[in-house]
A and B are shown apart, each in its own frame.
Chain A
Amino acid sequence: METRTKRIRWYKLDNAAKIYPVITNKRRTSVIRLSAHLKKRVHIGALERALERLTPRFPVFQTALRKGFFWYYLEQVSTKPKVEYDHTPYCRQFTSSHQKDCLLFRVRASERTIAVEFYHVLTDGGGVAEFLKALLWEYYLQLDHNLPSEGILHAHKPIHPDEWKDAYKKTFRQGLPYPLKREKAFHLPYKIKPANFQLVKAEMATTELLKKARSYQVSVTVYLTATYLFALQKLYWSVKKPNSPIIRIQVPMNLRKVFKIRTIRNFALFVQPEIDMRLGKYTFEELIKLVYHFMQLETDTKQIHRIITRNVHPEKQWVLRVAPRFLKDLVLYSKFFAEGANIQSGVITNLGRIDLPEALKEEIDHFSFIAPPPNHKFKVNLAMVSYNEKTLLHFGNISHSKKLERTFIERLQEDGLTIKLLTP
């Protein structure tokens, strides 16, 4: 296995990654961030040694983005990742020049924080979480902690071929009908801020949140998505001339659990619950019911196969395969708006609960997850992650208005939840 891994010097981009080199710019950086906030100070020497040990375990991450005649691709480079000082702005763009041997992830640290930032070309939130968990495991190993290695992709764990393969292709089925096209969605009419995107960080008690979601007999993701829709609906009625009566939210869904494939590359799709404002105002309970059924319908394996078929099928057609990259870039760029930014009013992504050995509960206070900066259409996004007793929410915002965040938090407070706002 290892021999084969060493022989491969380049990797194709996975199906989801293909869009990112085309749409990335200084603002739309497509960079995900996950950080662990420790209870004790970071031991920098141990972190450096842990990173050095771990890097060969993830050869697909030790790559740089290259431009080919037909496709972008990843090429292994000898650049060693270094621990950088962690400071704002977060999620900065990785180098715009594809010729340099610039790695597409960075490991950052400050007094009590260990953070990783990944270009979405390499992996999604699930992959980032796997890497950070492994890094923390190695880090605490350096600090003489004796930890169980179960479920951790540590330095000595053999590399499974599934880890670096394009899982979309593995699950692709030929000849399925494409899902229905969706119409344009409502967008918040706020002006864009010229500076970097702003963050609002909020903390909630996981048990309290879980208890509240259970009281509606739904999951935390459904509950928070309904809250997000509720907030958007409230703002919709305050807008004089909304661009569309449809409010639609994109909720990324981790497919690793669905297909039992433990890839460290991108493997997620989106559930897109929507409400039509022409039908009138929705109560919160109605929204909960609606989102729940949307989730049930769209997480059906057959439905997922349909979406994967739509996404993967074009790249298997020879006409598209032989088209030069710049033509593909044009198509992908237009698709990004037509089938992405234009048809969504917002994004809410829940990384879920981070599982680490029990002994680390005394060492790690909480995790923070920041989604890539939102695009100029939906302007605000929300990312969350839970660890131990804390659930952290991060709103990313590129507009001048914080109304959405305020309305969202007010709605949670109305439900009796305690929310603490923190400095990002």
Chain B
Amino acid sequence: MNEKKCNDCGVILDADMDECPLCGHREEQSKKESKGLKLPRKGLMWELFSIILGAAALIILVTDYAGERTLEWSAIPVGSIVYVWLLLTFMHFFGQRHLYFMFFLHYLSTIGLLILIDSVHIPITWVYSLGIPIATLVSLTLIAGAASHRHCQFPGLQLLGHWFVILALFPVGLQTAISMHMGQFHLSWSLIACISLIPAALLFYYLHYRMKLWIDLRNYFHV
């Protein structure tokens, strides 16, 4: 029998095994390690993006300053770059374990960017009355979606139901924000969208609970 030894855990491998099924050690991996080619995966992308974005921001600042010896137009592009970098950073550090906190930080960053755009050069009249409410609405939608995914016991019909409810409420919130900005609270198309989506959500919930009840009863009465 053709065989070779795993250099990590010491068991004998079949001749056609490239990777030890016990410890996951690969022959090529050990060769790479010995040549010092193994790169730290974690954080590599974040570091790479940080360098690229940092370089871009620096080039913009230098170009702006080189013209009139003062900073004028660079605030918004640099602010946007910082905003993108913040999104990536929060995702990198909090995305795995503190998802909701990450969404909260993203929300704050978005508001920060809107206020920056409003305050620097181009005064935007709708930042406080429309921009921040819509940013809040989008953030809440994303948090609700993430919460559904995370806490859904039976991903499937129940999750679809959750998403339909979220999507049904989103247009209502959006039209509320827009109509409040226009100075008159009014709901029209959003209500139609909402009413159309809610029955679909209810149908999914009904199908889910019917199936769940059947599974539970089958399990529970194994006596």
Contacts and interface: CB of A to CB of B under 8 A. Distances in A.
B22 A44 contact: yes
A43 B11 contact: yes
Contact of A43 (B12, B220, B221, B222): B12
Contacts of A66: 219, 222
Contacts of A44: 6, 11-14, 17, 20-22
B223 A111 contact: no
Which of B1, B5, B222 is packed against the most chain A CB atoms within 10 Å?
B222
A10 B222 contact: yes
Interface string A29-56: 0000000000001111100100000000
A68 B11 contact: no
Interface string B179-221: 0000000000000000000000000000000000000000111
Contacts of A112: 10
A67 B13 CA distance: 40
B223 A68 contact: yes
Contacts of B219: 66-68, 75
Is the interface on chain A under 10, 10 to 19, 20 to 34, or 35 or more residues? Answer: 20 to 34
Nearest to B220: A69
Contacts of B223: 68-71, 321
B147 interface: no
Contacts, number: 63
A109 interface: yes
Q: Is the interface of B mostly helix, strand, loop or mixed?
A: loop
Nearest to A47: B11
B52 to A, nearest CB: 40
Given A68-B219, A68-B222, A71-B223, A109 B22 contact: yes
Contact of A110 (B11, B220, B222): B11
B23 interface: yes
Interface in B1-59: 1, 3, 5-6, 9-14, 17, 20-23
A73 interface: yes
Contacts of B3: 43
Contact of B12 (A41, A69, A110): A41
Nearest to B21: A44
Contacts of A110: 9-11, 22
A73 B222 CA distance: 8
Contacts of A144: 1
Contacts of B12: 41-45
Which of A43, A67, A143 is packed against the most chain B CB atoms within 10 Å?
A43
Interface in A83-113: 83-85, 109-112
Given A43-B3, A44-B6, A45-B13, A68 B21 contact: no
Nearest to A9: B222
Contacts of B222: 10, 66, 68, 71, 73, 75
Interface string A118-145: 0000000000000000000000000110
Interface of A: 10, 41-45, 48, 66-71, 73, 75, 82-85, 109-112, 143-144, 321
6 contacts: A42-B12, A44-B12, A45-B21, A66-B222, A83-B21, A112-B10
Closest 10 pairs between A and B when the two form their complex, measured CB to CB: A111-B10, A45-B14, A69-B220, A43-B12, A44-B11, A42-B11, A85-B22, A70-B223, A41-B12, A73-B222
